[in-house]
Amino acid sequence: MFKNLIFFARFFLFWLLFFAVDRLVFLSIFHKKLREIPFGERIPTFYYALRLDLSMAAYLAVIPLLVFLFWYFTKRTSLNFKWVSVYNKVLIVLFGFFSIVNFNTYREWGIKINYSALAPIIETPKEAMASSGSSPFMFSMFIWAILIGSGFYLNFILLKKQINFVKTPILIKSIVAILLLGFNFLIIRGGVDVAPNNQSMAYFSKYEILNHASLNTEWNLISSILASTKTNKNPYLYFDNAAAEKQISELYKVEKDTTISILKTQKPNVVIFILESFTADLTKTLGNEEGITPNFDSLINKGVLFTNIYSAGNRTDKGLIGTLSGFPTLGTGSIVKWPEKMQKIPAISQKLYQNKYQTSFYYGGESEFDNYKAFLLSHNYQKLVDKHSFEKKDMNSKWGAYDGLVFNRQLQDINQEKQPFFSTILSLTNHEPFELPTTPKFGNKDIIQKFKSTAYYTDSCINDYLTKAKKQSWYKNTLFIFIADHGHLYPKNKYEIFQPQRYHIPLLFYGDVIKDEYQGKKFDKIGSQQDVAATLLAQLNIPHKDFLWSKNLLNPYSKHFAFFSWDNGLGFINDNHCVTFDNIGKNILYNSNPKDSAQTQINLNLGKSYLQSVYQQFIKL
């Protein structure tokens, strides 16, 4: 039996080698892009590619494996597996074609082949041929021939054609079958970690060309095709597109592009804390809760607090993009799931990097989760520290390293950093299952006690961080920004997903760099998590017009509103009214003033136009 498993080992080896050849050809074609990259940084490309290469090979192994198991349970003594050689050859030709399309797509657009590039070939082949006129045809055919020839040769020398069965008890056969199927499934998924395989697993470098080379072409294409059902048609068409876009453009129009300047300098260091589930309800100042966040509440006296801020969505991936890119949620998801689109939107890190800032990102969990890493490395974060940067003994939480450890690591690194620097910290301890390295402050008998205890712990870590930071020379020239990634059901345990209170989050600008006259000041303007980008960049006198969905909260002329969404639901809030809407049921779920039918309709239309326009831009990216 175990001798027969060598067949599948050879099958996997064949595909890993074929993908490696394809990758080598890719790097050879784009060798000019590699000139400034040290040779030592190119080699890991093949290592970081293994996870998705193995996953793709496991997908391809499903059919041979099922056929093998079918005959394994019969009384046959041998099985001719020559058809697998033919199966591989067909795939080699097909994958070779995908590769030459990928090379030309990358040459033209700088992205890997995806549904957008493949669809025209299938749907409108004549137009596709016309548009590919600039592609080097003979060179493409030559590359295709190399890939086919290499693939056929590897297939010939590695694949075994005959399998012999040994008489085995049915119980043993059943166990073997379960183990084989289970093992193959785990390879497809990428193991038993929290994060299943996604494009981020292949990202490792600050050089985009290496990340793209590492990313398995076929795996990425299949992922793009599966996701395309949600991206090539707008599911939120309520109005004429032009009318919807006009409504939204009016929202962001300002009488005068100006700002209240609250900083003592225009080029401070900037540290953004994106705090897991740090809802406004946790605080004394905004939620009237005693003793959960005493340190955060005390910071308000020396900071600028925005009291009416709402998160873009209800998950961390949405909050991360909302905060750092000022891009809204898409109702059913976040743009971070589509790397080829996500890399086209701006980010604070890009702007500051262009202005000579040193950029870094710290997270105690898996940066591959929900494609965070793909976003970070494609938006000029020069340094990324995640759970893989810590020792195993420090991985005491299901999600990774506790906040205190991560905060201390950032402090340790930033002390060696050249100024000015921009550093982002994404916390994680205040997340289910709410594990702690210390005695829980509020107990752990129920979920609310656990939630309050982990929030208290994160708050204490903030205090410890700032206490240590104040001793550093860079502290007085540093702006600290504290914001939650999203709201939460707890600790109140009374607001549903469609109620605005569920999205209410704190936003605090803090530090000695804030002018004395603004320390302790509160701004009650209704705004969004998305507005951090424009607000911060305006303070630094950096243009932010490409952040289309972000407004400057410190511009007296900007309008007061926020949009938020969840799975197929949307909400729109301004000074007068809040309304939320279920796109599936086509009904209003929440209305702050149902007696005012006129304002209800106005806000409902604004919310619909907003989501429609966001998704329309997403499609065009």
Q: Which residues are annotated as a binding site for substrate?
A: 431
Beta bridge partners of 303: 510
Q: Give me 350's structure tokens.
A: 């890009």
Beta bridge partners of 574: 561
Between the alpha carbon of residue 434 and those of residues 462, 517, 576, the distances in Å are: 17, 39, 37
Annotated binding site for Mn(2+): 276, 316, 485-486
Q: Are 395 and 376 in contact (CB under 8 A)?
A: no
Catalytic-labelled residue, pool 316, 323, 454, 535: 316
Give the number of other Cβ atoms within 10 Å of residue 205's Cβ: 18
Residue 292, phi then psi, degrees to nearest 5: -85, -40
Annotated binding site: 276, 316, 431, 485-486
Query: Can you tell me the distance from the alpha carbon of 459 to that of 268, in angstroms, rounded to the nearest whole number?
Result: 24
Q: Are 582 and 589 in contact (CB under 8 A)?
A: yes
Q: Are 521 and 304 in contact (CB under 8 A)?
A: yes
> Could you tell me which of 367, 347, 382 has the C-alpha nearest to residue 532?
347
What H or E segment, with its residue span, contains residue 573? strand 569-574
Place of tokens 């697993």: 201
130: Cβ contacts below 8 Å, ≥ 6 apart: none
Query: Can you tell me the distance from the alpha carbon of 491 to that of 430, in angstroms, rounded to the nearest whole number?
Result: 12
Q: Catalytic: 316?
A: yes
- In the chain, the amino acid numbered 246 is K
Query: Can you tell me the distance from the alpha carbon of 410 to that of 345, in angstroms, rounded to the nearest whole number?
Result: 27
What H or E segment, with its residue span, contains residue 449? helix 447-469
Rounded to 5, what percent of the chain is helix, strand, coil?
A: 50, 15, 35
Beta bridge partners of 572: 563, 579
Q: Give me 38's structure tokens.
A: 């040290």
Give the number of other Cβ atoms within 10 Å of residue 237's Cβ: 13
Q: Which DSSP string corresponds to 150-193?
A: HHHHHHHHH---EEE-----HHHHHHHHHHHHHHHHHHHHTSSS
Cis peptide before 491 (omega within 30 of 0): yes
Active site residues: 316
